[in-house]
Chain A
Amino acid sequence: MLRQWFKSPAVLALGAEGIALRPSGASADDIRMICGMSSSGSEHYSYERLLDELEAQADKLGLWRVRFILSNQFARYAVLPWQPSIYAMQDWLALATHQFRKQFGAMAENWEIRVALQGHGAPAVACALDRTLSERLLALSAKVNWSVQGIEPALMSVFNRHRAHLAKSGHWLLLAEPQRLLLGQISNGAWQHFHVDSPLAGEEPIAGMRMVERVLRLQGDTRPSAIACFGPAALLPDSLPEHMPMLRLPHPAAAVCMSSLDMLAGIA
């Protein structure tokens, strides 16, 4: 039991493709899909079936300490401008709720929101998940006696893993998943904007290139030194417009990882 404390927790990466598991203390090469989902149909973005599958298999997995990483399919991001008069986290959460309500309407009432401050004078990053999703994950963990070590959106896991590199070189970050692209703009050592696209299956590389082109045009003179990309090679563009350098973020098990979920589970 004591040895378990010194091992890294098991990682369960949940996405539209299914669920990938990296057992506690295992290397990135030991990642396996425990549940695969069909990538077509109306239930593509639904986590309900995913959680049902996980619940059905939970007892057989033999896990103890678990960390969940959620695909960007399930998360929404926003950047909140710095507010010098707001000090309490509760007020930042209220501001984020208001922002999401403006963007997404009444459905934001059912979302659970977290705000990450980036420092004094810098914009704050807000993230929203369906409240049902986080509540069901916690309820399932309590039912099968898992100790939850984290429920993190993919952006948090990827950025924290490569933070030193990204912050130093002033890159932007492009996360590619099946039918979901997320481009985060970083400048002056802080997140400035997020751009999301949901292309059709198979069109992710082209959509990614177009999204970068569009954002670069909107930005005008403010250009990154390069764009760091994270995701399976099949989902990433081969090259970027306007001769923008592209950097593929290293991955410990890049040779064996085939899906974005594998990569997410491996990065933690």
Chain B
Amino acid sequence: MKRLQLDFSPHRARLRNVIGGAALTVCLLAGLALLASQRNLDQRITRYAVQQQQPWKRMGSHAKRDPLMLPEEKQSREAQHALDLPWNALLGALERVQSASSGVHLLSVQPNPAKGEVVLGGEAENFSILMNYVKALRAQPQFYDVVLVNQRLAPETTSQGRLAFTLLAQWKT
């Protein structure tokens, strides 16, 4: 059975009005929140649609925003930079000098693109041949400031009476 509601005071009516008003307010606020949410969603959809039409902007903005992509990007930039160096010109110049200089054995080439240097290690039969080799290197347009860093007699186990040397050349990249 239902409760008997035979109240003669305005209390219940007032309470009903207050509850009704509160419910109406809550509904209005919820409606406004939904409307704001809908507008926000529309804006996001529009933004995504624009980004779909201009993918380069999307890529750029993503790369800037995503911190996880930064190391990979740095590595790829370095790799690309390393690939962009004039390796063919360097090796061609070394081959040209080497073919013109007999009595010199080039044993190591250590390029350092960051500093723009190349360290050359090898052996020469004597000092005059070594100096001719240095002059030939200086004549190449790919190198400048070619200097003899050190020289010493090579150990007898590898070759008898040979002069081991290290050259440092500045590399025009």
Q: Which residues of A does B touch, CB under 8 Å?
A: 68, 112, 114, 116-119, 125, 127, 129, 134, 138, 147-153, 155-156, 159-160, 163, 166-167, 186, 189-190
Count A-B contacts at CB 8 Å.
56
Q: Point out the residue from A127, A149, A163 that lies within 8 Å of B6, measured CB to CB.
A: A127
| Cβ-based interface call for B11 (8 A) | yes
Q: Complex Cα distance A150/B5, Å?
A: 10
Contact B1 A116 (CB under 8 A): no
| Cβ-based interface call for B39 (8 A) | no
Q: Complex Cα distance A118/B3, Å?
A: 8
Query: Taking each of B1, B7, B12, which has the highest tally of chain A beta carbons within 10 Å of its own beta carbon?
Result: B1
Give the Cβ gap from A123 to chain B, nearest Cβ, in Å.
Answer: 12
Give the Cβ gap from A147 to chain B, nearest Cβ, in Å.
Answer: 8
Residues of A with C-beta under 8 A to B3: 160, 163
Residues of A with C-beta under 8 A to B12: 150
Q: Complex Cα distance A129/B7, Å?
A: 11
| Cβ-based interface call for B83 (8 A) | no
Contact A156 B7 (CB under 8 A): yes
Give the Cβ gap from A129 to chain B, nearest Cβ, in Å.
Answer: 6
Contact B6 A114 (CB under 8 A): yes
| Chain B residues touching A, range | 10 to 19
Q: Determine chain B's interface SS by DSSP, over half rule.
A: loop
| Cβ-based interface call for B49 (8 A) | no
Contact B6 A125 (CB under 8 A): yes
Instruction: Offer 18 A-B interface pairs, CB within 8 angstroms, sorted by A.
Output: A68-B9, A114-B5, A114-B8, A116-B5, A117-B2, A118-B2, A125-B4, A125-B6, A134-B8, A138-B9, A148-B11, A149-B9, A150-B12, A155-B4, A156-B7, A159-B4, A166-B1, A190-B1
Closest chain B residue to A66, Cβ basis:
B9
Q: Point out the residue from A117, A151, A186, A190 that lies within 8 Å of B7, measured CB to CB.
A: A151
Q: Complex Cα distance A240/B89, Å?
A: 126
Contact B4 A148 (CB under 8 A): no
Given contacts A129-B8, A156-B4, 8 further A-B contacts (CB under 8 A): A116-B5, A134-B8, A148-B11, A149-B11, A150-B11, A151-B8, A186-B1, A189-B1
Closest chain B residue to A190, Cβ basis:
B1
Q: Which residues of B does A touch, CB under 8 Å?
A: 1-12
Contact A163 B1 (CB under 8 A): yes
Q: Complex Cα distance A139/B154, Å?
A: 123
Residues of A with C-beta under 8 A to B9: 68, 134, 138, 148-151
Residues of A with C-beta under 8 A to B2: 116-119
Give the Cβ gap from B12 to chain A, nearest Cβ, in Å.
Answer: 7
Closest chain A residue to B1, Cβ basis:
A167
Q: Complex Cα distance A151/B7, Å?
A: 5
Contact A150 B1 (CB under 8 A): no
Residues of A with C-beta under 8 A to B1: 118, 163, 166-167, 186, 189-190
Closest chain A residue to B3, Cβ basis:
A160
Closest chain B residue to A68, Cβ basis:
B9
Residues of B with C-beta under 8 A to A190: 1
Give the Cβ gap from B5 to chain A, nearest Cβ, in Å.
Answer: 5
Give the Cβ gap from B48 to chain A, nearest Cβ, in Å.
Answer: 51
Q: Complex Cα distance A44/B12, Å?
A: 31
Give the Cβ gap from B18 to chain A, nearest Cβ, in Å.
Answer: 13
Give the Cβ gap from B2 to chain A, nearest Cβ, in Å.
Answer: 5
Q: Complex Cα distance A189/B3, Å?
A: 11
Closest chain B residue to A125, Cβ basis:
B4
Give the Cβ gap from A134 to chain B, nearest Cβ, in Å.
Answer: 5
Q: Complex Cα distance A87/B22, Å?
A: 25
Contact A152 B6 (CB under 8 A): yes
Q: Complex Cα distance A156/B7, Å?
A: 8
Give the Cβ gap from A202 to chain B, nearest Cβ, in Å.
Answer: 30
Give the Cβ gap from A139 to chain B, nearest Cβ, in Å.
Answer: 12
Q: Across chains A and B, which 10 residue pairs bring their CB atoms closest together, nearest first?
A: A167-B1, A151-B8, A151-B9, A127-B6, A156-B4, A114-B6, A148-B9, A156-B6, A134-B8, A116-B5
Query: Taking each of B3, B4, B5, B8, which has the highest tally of chain A beta carbons within 10 Å of its own beta carbon?
Result: B8
Give the Cβ gap from B4 to chain A, nearest Cβ, in Å.
Answer: 5
Contact B11 A152 (CB under 8 A): no
